[in-house]
Amino acid sequence: MTDNSVSGAARGACLCRSVQFKAGFPTLFCCHCHCTMCRRAHGAAYVTWVGVPVEQWRVTAGAELLRSYESSDHGRRMFCGNCGSTLCYESSHHPERIDVALANFYEPIDRAPEFHVFFSDRTPWTSIGDELMKLGGESGFEPV
Ligand SMILES: [Zn+2]
Ligand SMILES: [Zn+2]
């Protein structure tokens, strides 16, 4: 598949701009994740993820700087070896897609955030006032 076979795309980069990437549209979803692993990995109250089919994902520069870390028995997180920006997540539970941190895009994607996951695990200092669906509970994906 060549880059021009997707109808639209958004580009992004890490903080030092060494790692550059591109995600082709349509993306699969966009959600806020409040799980403890995302929070620690990104040093943030929650992480906003964009699901991208792997065949629509390209690292266009700095691939040699991409480092990864096994954050669970099924998941791997990728970050820039130079600046440490946490960029993406892949899981053996859904090998057909890669989750990319929305904050690292510098061009708009094809959708707005749609729901929250692991909402029950949010920090007590996180206040959310939006009308989006909140999923949480034991699995992180049940209506709460
Ligand atoms: Zn970097
Ligand atoms: Zn998470």
Phi and psi angles of residue 133, each rounded to the nearest 5 degrees, phi first:
-60, 135
Instruction: Supply the pLDDT for residue 37.
Output: 96
Query: In order of start, what are the domains of the chain with their CATH numbers?
Result: 3-119 (2.170.150.70)
What distance in angstroms lies between residue 59's CA and the mean position of ligand 1's atoms? Answer: 13
pLDDT at 1: 47
pLDDT on residue 4: 47
pLDDT recorded at residue 5: 47
Q: Phi/psi of residue 119, each to 5°?
A: -65, -30
For residue 49, the model assigns a pLDDT of 98
Please give the distance, rounded to the nearest whole angstrom, from the Cα atom of residue 93 to the centre of ligand 2.
14
Which residues, by Cβ under 5 Å, contact ligand 1, an ion? 14, 16, 18, 80, 82-83
> What pLDDT score was predicted for residue 143?
94
Ligand 2 centre to CA of 2 (Å) is 31
Residue that the structure tokens 């480092």 belong to: 67
* Averages of pLDDT over each 10 residues, the chain, 144 residues: 65 98 98 97 98 98 97 96 98 97 98 98 96 97 94
Determine the distance separating the centroid of ligand 1 and the alpha carbon of 113, expressed in angstroms: 25
Burial class from Cβ neighbours inside 10 Å (0-12, 13-18, 19+) for residue 81 reads middle
Question: Can you tell me the distance from the alpha carbon of 132 to that of 35, in angstroms, rounded to the nearest whole number?
Answer: 17
